[in-house]
Structures are given as structure tokens and as C-alpha cells.
Amino acid sequence: MKSKSIGILAKPKFPEVKSTLHDVVAWLRARSIDVLLGTTSATLLGEQGGYQNTQLADKSDVFLVLGGDGTMLNAARLSGERSIPILGVNMGGLGFLTEVRLENLYPSLERVFANDFVLDERLMLRTHIHRHGETVAQGVVLNDVVISKGTLARMIELKIAIQGRFVTNLRGDGLIVSSPTGSTAYSLSAGGPIIDPAVQSLILTPICPHTLTHRPLIVPGNAEIDVTLTSKDDGAMATLDGQVGVAITQGDTIVIQTSEHRTRLIRFPESNYYDVLREKLKWGDG
């Protein structure tokens, strides 16, 4: 790939990030690759300026992420309408989204420039929060939208409709609406199923439901999900990808459907989703 520019997103909390960032920027510049640094990356390198996230998304042809799954989620949101291909380098524990181990960074970059990769397209969720007929917040996420109770509330009540048809009133600690990618995140710890990312679907996973017959529900990827907060609770929240929180009040409706945009992850043909699953979940060697 004759890449014109690589935008670099780094998470400073990982110990090797600073030295890795320094080395990879020098390596790319030596090959006349245009390197665009976010403000965090520029600060780490002691360089002036750096691009704000939106500028980085406008100007980059590829994102190189040095971090973990959280940094990848941020990159996915930034890639947005342009669906910028993302190469994730794992700087922490094994992640589901980061593709490359640190020791393979340079061979992997060589392969990207030689077009020896595939693009793994992941479904994203588009959400709008409606209050009195107006949209008060919106966003696009890769993993999940979580509607949850405040710290003091005993439970919240949610009315769930799919394709405009009433499904159930849910009482409990909340609800996770997840993409297949997000099925191995919060939804999994709340008892949700693991969905292969190639399956175009959405998952509704109740959080500690009051009625034990409420179970995770998988719906087609083209379904529209409407979740209305029916109880009066101070502190209830809608959280997008665990990173953006929106306060919600009684009567607010959270509308969730598949985005027309996809996250495009750079993958290498020999890597396998089930290998990552087995290693991450410690399923044994068969």
C-alpha cells in the first residue's frame, strides 16, 4: 500500500510506548512516510503541536495504534465516516482488537506497505438519545451502548421495543446493547454469548435482571432497538463504548441501530479470531 500518511494514536500508560513511538516514527520517516501525530503522541516525543483527533482523522490514510483495546475503540470512533484502516499494536495484555504483538511491529508494517493484509470489516452501532422529541446526544461505537442505573438507585426500569414492536419491560441494573465485536467485552461478563464478528447481529444483554427469565437476546443486524427509561432515577447513564457517558432522565429513549459505516481492522491472513479467543479465554490447546 503506497500510504500517503499514517496517523499514530498512542496510550502513554504502557511502559514501552515512548521508546516504541520514537523508533517507529524514525523508521517511517526514513522511508519517506508522512507521519501524523496526535497531541498525546507529539507530547510523548517532545515535538511541538500534534493534531487534534478530528484533524488526525481528516488527514490520515491509515491509523497505527500503540496501546490496547481501549485505544482501538477510540481509533474506531475517530475513523468514522472515512472508515480508515486501523493497525493495532498490542502494548498491554492480549487484546481482542489489537492484531500485532510488539516484536512483530516492523515486519507487520512492511507487509502493510506490500499490500499483504486483509481488511476485517466490523459492524458499528449508531445511537441517538431522544428527549421530548429532540436528539440530545448521538454517537457511533464499535463495542456497545450501556444503559445503567445511578450509584444510589436500587434498579431501573426500561421499556424495550424492536422494530417499533414492544418486547418487554426490564427491571434490573441496566442493559447492554452490543455489536458482535463487543460480545467479548462487558456483555460477556454479564452472561452474554460470544458472537463471531462476521455474524451481522446485535445483542441485548440484561445486567442483573430482577426477573430471572430475562436472557440475552440476539436480533438481526438491521433491527432498530428503542430503549426508554421509564423509572425516575437520578444518575442513570447511557455509556458509549465505555468512554463517553450521557446522563439520561425519565422518558428518554435511546435508539440503537447498525451504522452505515464499518470499522476496518488490518489483519494478516494467518491470524485467526478463534486463536485469539482460545488464548484470551484460556480454553486450552485441544
Catalytic residues: 69
Residue 133 exposure: Cα atoms within 13 Å on the Cβ side: 0
H or E stretch including 235? none
Size (the chain), residues: 286
Cell numbers 500510504: residue: 3
> With contact defined as beta carbons under 8 Å apart, do 179 and 192 qualify?
no
Secondary structure letter of residue 68 according to DSSP: -
Return the C-alpha cell found at 37. Answer: 501525530
Return the C-alpha cell found at 127. Answer: 445511537
SS3 readout for the chain = CCCCEEEEEECCCCCCHHHHHHHHHHHHHHCCCEEEEEHHHHHHHCCCCCECHHHHHHHCCEEEEEECHHHHHHHHHHHHHHCCCEEEEECCCCCCCCCEEHHHHHHHHHHHHCCCCEEEEEEEEEEEEEECCEEEEEEEECCEEEEECCCCCCCEEEEEEECCEEEEEEEECEEEEECCHHHHCHHHHCCCCCCCCCCCEEEEEEECCCCCCCCCEEEECCCCEEEEECCCCCCCEEEECCCEEEECCCCCEEEEEEEEEEEEEEECCCCCHHHHHHHHCCCCCC
